Structure 1
Amino acid sequence: MQVQAVAETAIINPVVLAKVSEYSREFATAAPFPHVVIDDFLEPTFAHALLDAFPAFERGNFIGDSGEPGGKSTLAKVRNLGQAYQQLDDAIQSPAFLDTIGRITSVDGLIYDPWYLGGGTHENRNGMALDPHVDFNYHPSERWHRRLNLIVYLNPAWEDAWGGHLELFRDPHADGRPSRTVSPVFNRCVIFETSERSWHGFDAIRLPEQHASMTRRSVALYFYSKDRPAEETASRHTTFYVNRQLPERFTDGHTLTRSDVAEIKQLLEQRDAHIRMLYTDNTGLREAQDRGLTGHLLYLAKRAYVRFRR
């Protein structure tokens, strides 16, 4: 049994396994919500094997909601990526691995998602950013509560000035700046609670011209549980996004620079895209509502109401 447990956690750096209690304390006391940042998380040779087998951008799903190619690519069928990703998949569903993550986070009964819905390999090109959001709170097809995000970054030559930092927010409706930023450097792992207050995103990737072809790479793993404390439970919802606030430097008397103007244009474009997405979702809901017997009865009721008012 002990030999099996060692094999199931062999992808984790032994140094990390020796410090589980320390990471557990960090997770519990972190602000703005429970999380922990663990450097050199994976066994080094295994981390490089994941990087070597990382899929080409065009192999993943890089078509945006508009139907056009975008700057983000994801791939959920990780077992198709070769031996290293098969080993990853085997490990993260094992009792020993789930128990280790559970001891770090104090979340019992963790469940692995065999479909990697929303997870798998993630890759973002230069200029991409992700607005603050809280994730969907239930598994899309199972009655499981979403509990944890575990992200491992695979960027061996990333510099802090290049952006792409994971951002953790207390309240993005009120705060222009995140409470914590984390650079996506190679083999750095971030584990954070998924809840109604786990606001997170990443700032724009700003690569210098000579490195403009590089991308921000990561593997995202999501974990669930069958139960959740009542005080943390909310009605089922999709991912909630909040458009970024204007940077704090935009105050009375500030003279706009060329980069300021570019940033304002980008913020407006993101806000417009968000509004278009909401309109599209609303139209889809109305079309679904209009179809079928219920939709027809609703139409007749509305028609009668309008005629009665006249």
Structure 2
Amino acid sequence: MTGVAESAAPPWFTDLFAHRRWIRRIEPFPHIYARDVFVPEFYGRLAEELARVRGERPEAFGSVAADYGAVGASLAGLRDGPLALFLSREWHDMVARVTGVAATGDVEGAVHHHAPGSPPGSPHNDLNPAWFKGSAPGPGEVRTVDPEVDLATGPRTPEVFARETVRAVAVLFYLGNPDWRPGDGGETALYSHLGTNPVPAVTIPPLDNSLVLFECTPRSWHTFVGNNATARNSVVMWLHRPKDDVVRRWGGDSIAQWH
């Protein structure tokens, strides 16, 4: 098990958590799983905010990727409510600490909505490049994706300075799925290896107020199972590390380029 929300964090942050210990699993690759992450009052606020945004701001949700069945609303546009927690430096530093990753303070993320019957995804490891505008954030700052910078390819104009990073930690927090039951589909599958028709080694159910997070490595293979009987909602986000760190550890060819 692993400690979270240590006393060094401010009370407003530590008081949001229902307990202080999450489960650290080794197989099929190192990941951390937790149930009942937040106290009921704060989880209720998160779920209500998701329902409000989906009801009042449907235009905030757009296609996530050509080969991905979800629509998403960027966390950067949802800073006026409780979902802003996921862009706080306190959350960033806690996730970096429990995974042992020296992250840069650069964060991307969104609320994802899979409609019932969404197609399954393809296994991937999330070890992708990501560009952020300006110099590295300071110790108390968080930098999100800037419109002047394409996340996958860098500055949109020559006069804009941006840094290339690589996704370092993936976080999936499940919320707004009260009707989900075993057999409904829509889990997150984790794989020990790939090949023809790979079989998941572990499936993570999209239970409300639960999460899974893991370091992005060449073998952190995962995907959305799909064929969900009910809608599946989640917060999906990434912390980042300098590209040089990845090159030194696994080589430049390990970085999964965007297509």
CA apart distance, 1:7: 2.4
Summarize the alignment of residues 132-281 of structure 1 with structure 2, pairs less than 5 Å apart.
132-141=123-132, 142-154=163-175, 155-174=177-196, 176-207=198-229, 214-226=230-242, 228=245, 230-235=248-253, 236-239=255-258
Quick one: percent identity of the two aligned structures? Answer: 22
RMSD between superposed Cα atoms in Å: 2.8
The answer as to whether partners of 1:151 and 1:190 remain within 8 angstroms in 2 is yes
CA apart distance, 1:174: 4.6
Mapped partners of 2:126, 2:245: distance in 1: 16
The answer as to whether partners of 1:78 and 1:121 remain within 8 angstroms in 2 is no
SS of equivalent to 2:10: helix
Summarize the alignment of residues 29-68 of structure 1 with structure 2, pairs less than 5 Å apart.
30-54=26-50, 55-56=53-54, 58-59=58-59, 60-62=61-63, 65=66
Mapped partners of 1:77, 1:99: distance in 2: 17
Which structure features the higher share of strand residues?
Answer: 2
Paired residue total = 213
Q: Closer, same or farther in 2 for the Cα pair 1:161/1:111, shift >3 Å? A: same
Q: Closer, same or farther in 2 for the Cα pair 1:71/1:104, shift >3 Å? A: closer
Compare relative contact order (CA 8 Å, sep 6+) and give the higher one, 1 or 2.
Answer: 2
Given candidates 116, 123, 128, the residue that maps to 1:126 is: 116
Q: TM-score, normalised by structure 2?
A: 0.71
Q: Structure 2: which amino acid aligns with 1:171?
A: H
The answer as to whether partners of 2:64 and 2:72 remain within 8 angstroms in 1 is no
Mapped partners of 2:245, 2:164: distance in 1: 11
CA apart distance, 1:148: 0.4
Structure 2 segments unaligned to the other structure (5+ residues): 1-6, 133-162
Given candidates 7, 15, 39, the residue that maps to 2:12 is: 7
Deviation digits for residues 121-156 of structure 1 (CA, Å, limit 9, x no counterpart): 000012212121122422134322311001100112
Deviation digits for residues 35-82 of structure 1 (CA, Å, limit 9, x no counterpart): 01111112322222121111328430048649xxx9521011444464
Mapped partners of 2:29, 2:64: distance in 1: 32
